Structure 1
Amino acid sequence: MIEVSIPATTANLGCGFDVLGMALDIFYTVRVQTIKENQYIIRNRGEGERYLPEDERNLFFRTIKKISKWKNFPELGLEVEAFNQIPVSRGLGSSAACISAAVATVNELNGRALSIEEMIHFAAQIEGHPDNVIPAMVGGLTVAMKNGEQIHYQKFPFFDNIHLVACIPEYTLSTEEMRRILPSDYSREDVIFNLSRIAYLVGSIFRQDREGFFTALDDAIHQPFRGQKIPGFFEVRGYLREKGMGEAVISGSGSTVLLMLRDPITTSGKEKISELFAQKGTKDLIIKNVNWQNQGIRVKQL
């Protein structure tokens, strides 16, 4: 039996739309054993357990079957226990984690035949967003770039003196819907706005310049539009800026809002954030301290 664990991810980080991603310490873990029967059995535990399929329709198995076909690997009967801490359809990379876990499982069951570059390539083809898949697989904060069919990335450590808090609403948002609300064209000013900020932000990460990082987080490409679908986002971001506490960004396409703070959040701070969301109608909210993770795929033989 093998155990594969994959971290959640937060993508975009404000100005880094479809480019930046970072691994977080919330995990999707599977324990996998081969069985003689040509069957696919999965038992879901944790987030999504009430409605995720427990047969070959599950995304984990669909991914395994695709990669086995692409690489001519033998199809094996599998029995899986899945333990999911990652809220589903909340912008924390639950699909990317599931797909990455499946890719890593296929790799282990076939003698580690795939390089990390091949694993990223296959996972990104299935998931569609390298900015989610790459940090899930390699950890850290990553910059993703596509060049034709090739995917390139750079990995950086995040700041140890920026405190991360995930504000996770009960409601879900579909990535497809949140892409449809984005404009098909942008002004030159908006493009320059984001280009300058992502360049400055990456430079700030490289130099570990915390204040430079906070300065560069603003965005003109996706948050002004997606924020309208996340009641309370603009109010919480405005409050953090006014108090000099830090910044708020939409995690992926939402609905989670990630707070990036200069100091650890206090009990009164959590109460204020909850109040601001509640005033706009978001009352079922989990506020959770999270940390960035430098490691992506974790594999253990049990």
Structure 2
Amino acid sequence: MSFSVRVPASSANLGPGFDILAIAVGLYLEVDAEPAEGEPVVLEGPDLRGGGDLVLDGLRRVASAVGRPCPGCRLRVRSDIPVARGLGSSAAALVAGMLVGNRLLGDPLDRAALLRLACEAEGHGDNVAAALYGGVALAVPTATGWLYRPLKLARPLRAVVFVPEQTALTREARAVVPESVPRADAVANAARCALLVLALVEGHFEHLAEAMDDRLHQPYRARIFPYLPHLIAAAREAGAYGACLSGAGPSVLALAEPAAAEAVRIALQNAASEHGVAGTALDLPVEADGARVLTATRQ
């Protein structure tokens, strides 16, 4: 029985939620899987700059976790998630591979177990939690493992994302973030992270501009993405509740009510052009459902 899985993109941090918060957005990676018992895994699809390898990695991690051989299959991967842009393309590929492997092996692992495996592979849980569960995800490392909690939006928001043509590697964006920050900045970030969670779940979206004002990583990453403060300001002026760097960059995320989303998209596009940054601004839905099996049909 063949089937497909679909996994959304995700934007992590949301400003101060460094490595613990992410939101799933409406761009997708899909994998069509056809079982092929006794055969090796065959992967077809575009060059995803490691994404295909991560699909296979996810599949193999599930097989290893349940102590079974990697199932033979033919996989076709397609994706509209821009790679190396801070939109969770690697997390989507990893989660897709895990879902495929889990289904091929008879679904021995529940979502919580899949999340633990994905967090172990990624080293942090923000993108994989949002990719797996959808919506706004809080993923916190604890002494006993990863704690995931969904944050239910009080009312609808649109994710307006400017995606530069230039790419960026997460390891390079992490390298500019210092190992320690001034105590005042740490306190400010803790306060804003708490405010961000409350604003999202209680509907006080008017606080998002302040809540998404990060001091832990964005000021340092703005050195390699100098257009960041200008795009954040343009998004706010156009009616966005708040804006931030998307993940490790270089994309910029703005959160807006549906009626304001088009104005925010145009403002981001114009601001980027004014500062010589080529790219495309997208008005995207927040993906509420997360990763799922799309079809299951007998061949």
Corresponding letter in the other structure for 1:194: N
Aligned residue in 1 for 2:260:
264
Corresponding letter in the other structure for 1:20: L
After superposition, where does 1:135-214 map in structure 2 within 5 Å? Answer: 135-214=130-209
CA contact (8 A) 1:250 1:257 kept: yes
Deviation at 1:242, TM superposition (A): 4.5
Aligned residue in 2 for 1:70:
65
1:244 and 1:291 mapped to 2: Cα distance?
A: 17
Secondary structure (helix, strand or coil) at the match of 1:229 reads coil
CA contact (8 A) 1:158 1:292 kept: no
Relative to structure 1, the CA distance from residue 173 to residue 149 in structure 2 (aligned partners, 3 Å threshold; closer, same or farther) is farther
CA contact (8 A) 2:160 2:253 kept: yes
Aligned residue in 2 for 1:134:
129
2:95 and 2:107 mapped to 1: Cα distance?
A: 14
CA contact (8 A) 1:233 1:277 kept: no
1:79-136 alpha-carbon deviations (Å, 9 max, x no partner): 1111211111111111101110111111111221102111001111112220111111
CA contact (8 A) 2:157 2:256 kept: yes
CA contact (8 A) 2:7 2:28 kept: yes
Aligned residue in 2 for 1:17:
18
1:194 and 1:186 mapped to 2: Cα distance?
A: 11
* Residue 84 (1) aligns with residue 79 (2): yes
Deviation at 1:28, TM superposition (A): 0.8
1:272 and 1:230 mapped to 2: Cα distance?
A: 18
Aligned residue in 2 for 1:58:
53
Residues 92-101 or 65-74, more deviating: 65-74
Aligned residue in 2 for 1:104:
99
Relative to structure 1, the CA distance from residue 189 to residue 26 in structure 2 (aligned partners, 3 Å threshold; closer, same or farther) is same
Relative to structure 1, the CA distance from residue 165 to residue 199 in structure 2 (aligned partners, 3 Å threshold; closer, same or farther) is same
Aligned residue in 1 for 2:292:
298
Structure 1 runs not aligned, ≥5 long: none
Deviation at 1:261, TM superposition (A): 2.6
1:248-278 alpha-carbon deviations (Å, 9 max, x no partner): 21111011111223442446x6454333223
Secondary structure (helix, strand or coil) at the match of 2:178 reads coil
- Count of residue pairs the alignment pairs up: 294
Secondary structure (helix, strand or coil) at the match of 1:155 reads strand
Relative to structure 1, the CA distance from residue 214 to residue 231 in structure 2 (aligned partners, 3 Å threshold; closer, same or farther) is closer
* Residue 29 (1) aligns with residue 30 (2): yes
1:164 and 1:53 mapped to 2: Cα distance?
A: 26
1:63 and 1:298 mapped to 2: Cα distance?
A: 15
* Residue 287 (1) aligns with residue 288 (2): no
Deviation at 1:4, TM superposition (A): 0.8
Residues 145-154 or 207-216, more deviating: 207-216
Q: Percent identity?
A: 28
CA contact (8 A) 2:210 2:242 kept: no
Secondary structure (helix, strand or coil) at the match of 1:103 reads helix
Corresponding letter in the other structure for 2:288: N
1:104 and 1:167 mapped to 2: Cα distance?
A: 29
Secondary structure (helix, strand or coil) at the match of 2:26 reads strand
Equivalent residue in structure 2 for 1:233, among 228, 231, 237: 228
Deviation at 1:194, TM superposition (A): 0.5
**Structure 1 residue runs of 4 or more that deviate by more than 6 Å after TM superposition:** none
Aligned residue in 2 for 1:246:
241
CA contact (8 A) 1:157 1:294 kept: no
Secondary structure (helix, strand or coil) at the match of 1:120 reads helix
1:245 and 1:256 mapped to 2: Cα distance?
A: 16
1:293 and 1:91 mapped to 2: Cα distance?
A: 17
Deviation at 1:50, TM superposition (A): 4.1
